[in-house]
A and B are shown apart, each in its own frame.
Chain A
Amino acid sequence: METLKGFDVEIELELVSPDSTRFRLEARLRTSCGITVLFGPSGAGKSTLLLAMLGSLRPARGRIGIAGRTVFDAAAGMDLPVRERRVGIVFQDALLFPHLDALGNVAFGLRGKDRRDRAEGMLRRMEAGALARRRPSELSGGERQRVAFARALAARPAALLLDEPFSALDAPSRQGLGSLLIELQAEMEIPFLHVTHDLGEALRLGREIAIMDAGRIVQSGPVDSIFSAPSPAATRSLGSENVFTATIVRHFPQEGFSEVDLGGTRAETGLLDLPPGSRVPLGLRAEDVLLALEEIRTTSARNVIRGTVEQVDRRGPTVEARVLTPALFRVIVTAAAARELRLSAGQQVFLLIKAHAFHRLT
């Protein structure tokens, strides 16, 4: 099998808005052919990056490769127009053509006599065959997104960009479309770049993640490796130094806590309103973890977790310790505390964490 290629982007561009504020995008992104999630707060430059990849914004410098084909290369003076890039797009609000019915929308990107048949096939694949004759104004949000996916994919693009396509949908529609998205990606074997600011969604859909902040991709790679070791800039974006992919084990509503599995380590958190078995991203600030050398039993902290110090780093007046429990925790203490505990690699410690120090990342 030939190697399948994803996105290979290295661009710089500067936007000047009407009120003459400048926004600088300096993005480097290299992905495989699967679903990559582009995560970041609003204003980080995610949509700007998508527009540059589509070809509707022109970078000042750099190169854009899509599925193994160069579509933009500033040094070589190459800049393929949007329609020759073969990159599909699904917008947050579906943005179907309101003057065409669902079938007309899907057939819009097709040529040839059998275009309507092929469009119908694609609509059926999206489980939206019954909607063919309806206008966008007669469709629900979820139905519109199905038609928008069908429209983008029917044109046989070399890659698909998704700009927060689920953010306006309710939870059941999200789940349904999310699994369909994963199936479609596997069938079509083209790279998807999925923009979201919902970490739960990022976790469900993506195997790779790129975290964006202030116009830069601050970290990218496999989802699990990034969650277990976010860079300082990625931490800012994620909001916590510790990000866990937690699986809910059971709830204790009377007692006011939920038990979760953080990947080999059990912990108690505040009550989570998700069914047992579901996965949820949890954040934990490194300052919210206490270190003890003995197992303290009489404490209000719900979690007393045994672990081994893997690494100790001095960061100015503070010290960061990485503790394996087996889940990896990053803990920040003052230099004085580190000195008194004689923190060093290989040492056995206990982590004290309040249940409510874990917070759900969405």
Chain B
Amino acid sequence: MILPALRLSLLVSLQATLLVALAGTGAGWLLARRQFRGREVLDALFNLPLVLPPTVTGYYLLLLIGRRGPIGGPLLRLTGLSLTFTLAACVLAASVMAFPLMARSARVAFEELDRRHEIAAATLGHGPASAFFRVAVPLARRGLAAGVVLSFARALGEFGATLMVAGNIPGRTQTLPLAVYEAVFSGQDARAAVLALLLTAVSVAAMLAVGSLGRWKP
């Protein structure tokens, strides 16, 4: 039961990373470049999963997507589907936990850009979207890439929130960290060691990747 957990973990982490890369980049841009009422409140809200105990974040998610929740309720009535204890719930939990890392990395990366680059792009006839994709994103790519790698590592290691919203169903919602937990508490020491090493190897690779981004000069 090692391979299914690894496969599931990779699947969840990759999907979560993709979601977070898009949403976090957008959020980072919003915080770095737009002045609006409640910006600091929004920033604090985005960062909440970093400081809350993961089980508390998971609890809130459960309220949100549960049968009587503001998202789960209507979804169940309209489609008959329930999100809790599914792969989608794993992805959601991993995404919410990784999102602050991406949003922070993106915000810092965009704040470091010289605003005049965007002004120059506009004087050359480019609208905000074009200036964003053709100037801001390429110039911030290092910080954004670091955010993506960190988000992937965070999603891969997600435990508490996942347990709350997706349970621990082998082959369906049991990701690597959950599998480690179960192996230890059911006395399967060898299995626990293999799983732990596997997770460590992937995490070290992720950290090396972040480190090499610092030297990356495309």
Contacts and interface: CB of A to CB of B under 8 A. Distances in A.
A83 B125 contact: yes
A316 interface: no
Nearest to A161: B123
Contacts of B121: 108
B30 interface: no
Contact-residue size bin, chain B (C-beta under 8 Å from the other chain): 10 to 19
A83 B122 contact: yes
A109 B114 contact: no
A152 B123 contact: yes
A51 B123 CA distance: 11
Contact of B123 (A89, A98, A99): A89
B38 interface: no
Interface in B148-196: none
Contacts of A81: 122
Interface in B90-130: 114, 116-117, 119-127
A82 B141 CA distance: 25
B114 A151 contact: no
A152 B117 CA distance: 13
Given A83-B125, A83-B127, A95-B114, A89 B120 contact: yes
Nearest to A83: B122
A89 B139 contact: no
Contact of A99 (B114, B119, B139): B139
Contact of B126 (A83, A89, A98): A83
B125 A91 contact: no
Contact of B116 (A87, A91, A108): A91
Residue among A81, A82, A111 having the largest count of chain B Cβ atoms under 10 Å: A82
Contacts of B126: 83, 108-109
A343 B125 CA distance: 62
A157 B122 CA distance: 12
B218 interface: yes
B80 interface: no
B119 A89 contact: yes
A97 B123 contact: no
Interface string A72-116: 000000000111010111010001011100000000110100000
Interface residues of A, number: 23
A335 to B, nearest CB: 52
A54 interface: yes
Contacts of A87: 123
A208 B141 CA distance: 44
Contacts of A98: 139
A217 interface: no
Interface in A186-230: none
Interface string A151-162: 110010100000
A151 B116 CA distance: 14
A109 B119 contact: no
Given A97-B135, A98-B139, A99-B138, A155 B120 contact: no
A4 to B, nearest CB: 21
A81 B122 CA distance: 8
A97 B119 contact: no
Contacts of B123: 54, 82-83, 85, 87-89, 109, 152, 155, 157
A56 interface: yes
B143 to A, nearest CB: 14
A91 B119 CA distance: 11
A151 B135 CA distance: 15
Contacts of B116: 91, 95
A97 B117 contact: yes
Contact of A109 (B117, B124, B139): B124
B117 A95 contact: yes
A108 B138 CA distance: 14
A56 B139 CA distance: 20
Contact of A82 (B117, B119, B218): B119
A82 B114 contact: no
A151 B126 CA distance: 13
Contacts of B135: 97
Contacts of A54: 119, 123
Contacts of A51: 119
Contacts of B134: 108
Interface of B: 114, 116-117, 119-127, 134-135, 138-139, 141, 218
5 contacts: A97-B135, A99-B138, A99-B139, A108-B134, A155-B124
Given A83-B126, A97-B138, 10 more contacts: A56-B119, A82-B122, A85-B123, A95-B117, A108-B121, A108-B126, A111-B125, A151-B120, A152-B124, A155-B125
Interface of A: 51, 54-56, 81-83, 85, 87-89, 91, 95, 97-99, 108-109, 111, 151-152, 155, 157
- List 5 tightest A-B contacts by C-beta distance, closest first: A109-B124, A82-B122, A99-B138, A83-B122, A155-B124
